[in-house]
Amino acid sequence: MMGKPQNQQPKLFYHGFSLENRLPKEHALRKISRLVNFAFIRSQVKHLYGINGNTSIDPAVILKLMFLMFYENSKSERVLMEQLPPRLDWLWFCGYCFDDQTPDHSVISKARRRWGQEVFSDFFANILQHCIDAGLLDGKTIHIDSSRIDGNVSKDTLKPQLCMLGQKLYQDIESQDNNDKPLQQRISQTDTDARIGKKYDKSTLGCKDHRVVDDKCGIVTATVTAPANVHDGKLLAEAIQTHQSNTDTKVKTVVADKAYGNIENYKHLKDNDIKPCIPHQTYRKKENESFEKDAFKYDSQCDCYICPAQQQLHRYYRNKPCHDNTYSYRAKRKICEQCKYFTQCVSSKNFGRQIDRNLDSEYTNWADGCLGSDTRRRLMTRRRAKAEGSFADAANNHGFKRARWRGIVKMRIQNLMIAAIQNLRKLMRHLGRNAIAAAVAAVKTGFFGLFTVVISTIGVFVRKTHHFVSEYLLFKELCQ
């Protein structure tokens, strides 16, 4: 029998309707609600609210709304609040009923500005502690990498500014040569914290997030956000310190790409007894040079290099190094022109052959020899899976590559929330696998237990039967 058309008119009353019954028992938000205590926020922000005036929205609810924005990858707070009323699971998660009035999106932005960054750092730390308690962290081997984030700003807003702030900067400008250009930089008028960073011939106006990812399960243990024009190598020490503070574990091995490989970082790692798996920039001979730097021998007594033709390259600019504690050694042009290796060795059109020597090269040699080649290759392979994979997951599922807000502090909040959510997802998968393993173990235990009981029962029956037969045969012989 064909069914009748359904009545499209809305009901005035709904009897027996409950969000609790509508939401599936294994829904992800149910698991999150059991794992995460959002109520901690009340004591954290209590001092930011007065005792008079209108009653605010529960801070725990506001934090849940911010959580949903990144967990569900909503583009903005406005879009989130537009999607909230028809989503029954979101309403249940935030403690609303389907006929309750939801707050305006401005409530979230006002609370975020009032709370500051510290609250979200605590939220990240709470979830990280759950991961530590579950055994998902090792803490001794870490991967560090950075990824650029496009700012919520257009490049058309960039304008040059003369950075002449303070008497010290005036003095620095006056001390420059007359041929030097004024110190200028391009700053966005919309987001004054956004900077232009360039990598792989692609420029980005925004910031960069430097992550520390644990080697064991890929848990994000620290995040350091800086403008896009800050070089990666300057933030290695801060990232390690943040990781050790968050996990209370001493780092033993650091894995990173060559952007972090400089003398200062190698010094810091050696002084703190940390082994680096960090490559560095190496000298590459030019096209018309057949002799690499290793072909030149350094003579410490004469402070010079000896070339393959047994000629000396002496240091110039003796009073100070050229850069990064590096000295340059150069042969005379006239001597090089008389050498049979001239066309194969010298690439300069005005000078003889030049060799650079860094006084801190011992740290580079130490960094290159800390780990074997097989270990370095294995760790660098894991770095692509752990660090780069963490950024890829954040970009694909949580809108990591674009800024929702403006300002470096707000971007730190965004990166903390995304990292916390990624850690929470890993924790939920881990607990789910443990539950399945426990259920399988219980089934196996029950099966084998039942099997053991059956076998034991059969064994007892066989033994008793054998005993009965033996007694019968003995009785029969006695009777005969």
C-alpha to C-alpha distance for 332 and 98, rounded to whole angstroms:
85
Q: 476 to each of 320, 419, 471, 472, 480, how far by Cα in Å?
A: 117, 85, 9, 6, 6
pLDDT at 314 over 70: yes
The answer to whether 206 touches 200, Cβ cutoff 8 Å, is no
Bridging pattern class, strands 158-162 and 141-150: unpaired
Q: Mean per-residue pLDDT for 143-148?
A: 93
- pLDDT tens for 84-93 read 988 888 999 9
Arithmetic mean of pLDDT, 252-272: 91
> Taking a C-beta distance cutoff of 8 angstroms, is the pair 208, 227 a contact?
yes
pLDDT at residue 17, rounded to an integer = 67
pLDDT tens for each residue of 339-385? 888 877 887 777 888 887 777 777 888 888 888 889 999 999 999 99
Judged against a pLDDT cut of 50, whether residue 338 lies above it is answered with yes
3-state helix, strand, coil in the chain (%, to 5): 50, 15, 35
With a cut of 80, say whether residue 202 has pLDDT above it.
Answer: no
How far apart are the C-alpha atoms of 75 and 64, rounded to whole Å? 16
Distance in angstroms (rounded) separating the CA atoms of residues 84 and 65: 9
- CB of 88 within 8 A of CB of 28? no
- Helix or strand or coil: residue 358? strand
> How far is 136 from 216, CA to CA, in rounded Å?
7
At residue 195, the pLDDT reads: 83
Question: Is 174 a residue whose pLDDT tops 50?
Answer: no
In this prediction, residue 16 carries a pLDDT of: 61
Q: How confident is the model at residue 184 (pLDDT cuts 50, 70, 90)?
A: very low
Predicted confidence (pLDDT) per residue in 94-114, tens digit = 988 877 888 889 988 988 888
Please, are residues 363 and 167 in contact by the beta-carbon 8 Å criterion? no
> Domain map of the chain by residue range?
19-115, 293-363
pLDDT value for 388: 92
Name the DSSP class of 75.
S
Q: Rounded to an integer, what distance in angstroms lies between the CA atom of residue 363 and that of residue 278?
A: 12
What pLDDT digit, counting tens, does each position of 281-303 carry? Answer: 765 555 555 677 777 888 888 88
- pLDDT reported for residue 262: 87
Segment holding 211, helix H or strand E: strand 202-214
